[in-house]
Homo-oligomer: A and B are copies of this chain.
Amino acid sequence: MAAATIKAVAREAKVSVASVSRALNGGSGVTEATGKRIREAAERLQYIPHAAARMLITRRTHTIGALLPDLHGEFFSELIRGIDLAARARGLHLLVSSSHESVEEAAAAVRSMQGRVDGLLILSGRVDAAFLRANLPHALPLVLLNSGVKNSAWSVLNMDNHAGALAMVRHLLQLGHADVALIAGPEGNFDARQREQGYREAMAKYAPGVALNIVAGDFTEESGYRAGRELLARKPRPQAVFAANDMMAVGCLGAFREAGVRVPQDIALAGFDDIPITRYVTPALSTVRVRIAEFGRLALERLADILEHPGQESRSADTLGFEIVERETCGANIPTCTPEVTFNSSQLAARGGER
């Protein structure tokens, strides 16, 4: 049997299609008795409203799109997880389009989502205001994640890359590691830039005389490995290394192990993100935690709010807090495998007094 339409239900319940629509949606404007009759008829015919027809007339899809870059690993899954759960709670569907390397791909994806979504969640590190204006004809509700756009006419949600990196580098310095090297992220990437900025600022502030020591990376484990080897070869070997993300830290750790350099005894190491792997490498990696699923949830709820209250123009720019997670690689507690210690961003602010 073909799917039952609203007409069939109307016939079955001996009413007009209008009453069926009213009974099944608002519920008002229809007697309790006929309402019941209609609901029963719908049930009997297993009626499911045709989504497309409803979208056409309503101009709402009840779907939001998520545009994500070519993320591997757990950052991706945690993010989607947070978004998806929040979306389901709000009765929204989730259309994902991930794995965009180039801006062209992203543009194509945005265009192809036109009209299929009520709003868009964009995480890219590469999109800027110009891109958005070029590829988003009319004002589609938008939440930008970890985006560099500042003057934004759009709503933005950022992780606190800058403060997190600053806090971690300060932490390393305060533990007595005189100079800290940085394994940087990919050029042009927003998060990478902010984290590098945090590193620079921390060094300038807390290790004024020390020369900066930066080696390139691109957020992959492979590049972290290469960077680790390069750092070991440098003339005065750094006493600590801050990798701009965890994957590079893990790669770097591999390079150190291979070279027989002990962590944290010979050299300290820290990452950024707190992906689950960090718990399982040996020694366990100290890192900056951002609650990724929470990040996704927040983003979706921000977007949903915009959809529900179109006038509000709640284009604020929020920043998600972080925590310093002290495991083993920083060398704060060398002797044994201690329970992990965390500081969150507000505590850090209280302790340090600067941001």
Determine, out of A195-203, A275-283, A311-319, the stretch whose residues face the partner at the interface: A275-283
How big is chain A's contact interface, by range? 35 or more
A123 contacts B by Cβ under 8 Å: no
Nearest residue (CB) in B for A251 is B280
B94 and A95 contacting across the interface, CB-CB below 8 Å: yes
Residues from chain B with Cβ under 8 Å of A111 in the complex: 48
Residue among A2, A56, A77 with max Cβ neighbours from chain B (10 Å): A77
Copies of chain A in the complex: 2
A233 contacts B by Cβ under 8 Å: no
B137 and A46 contacting across the interface, CB-CB below 8 Å: yes
Given the known inter-chain contacts A96-B94, A337-B258, please indicate yes or no for A73 contacting B3, CB distance below 8 A.
Answer: no
B84 and A77 contacting across the interface, CB-CB below 8 Å: no
Q: How far is the CB of A262 from chain B (nearest CB, A)?
A: 13
A99 and B84 contacting across the interface, CB-CB below 8 Å: yes
B48 and A114 contacting across the interface, CB-CB below 8 Å: yes
A344 contacts B by Cβ under 8 Å: no
A61 and B72 contacting across the interface, CB-CB below 8 Å: no
A56 and B50 contacting across the interface, CB-CB below 8 Å: yes
Interface residue from B81, B114, B250, B281 paired with A99 (Cβ < 8 Å): B81
Residues from chain B with Cβ under 8 Å of A52 in the complex: 52-53, 55-56, 61, 115
A32 contacts B by Cβ under 8 Å: no
Interface residue from B56, B88, B113, B253 paired with A97 (Cβ < 8 Å): B88
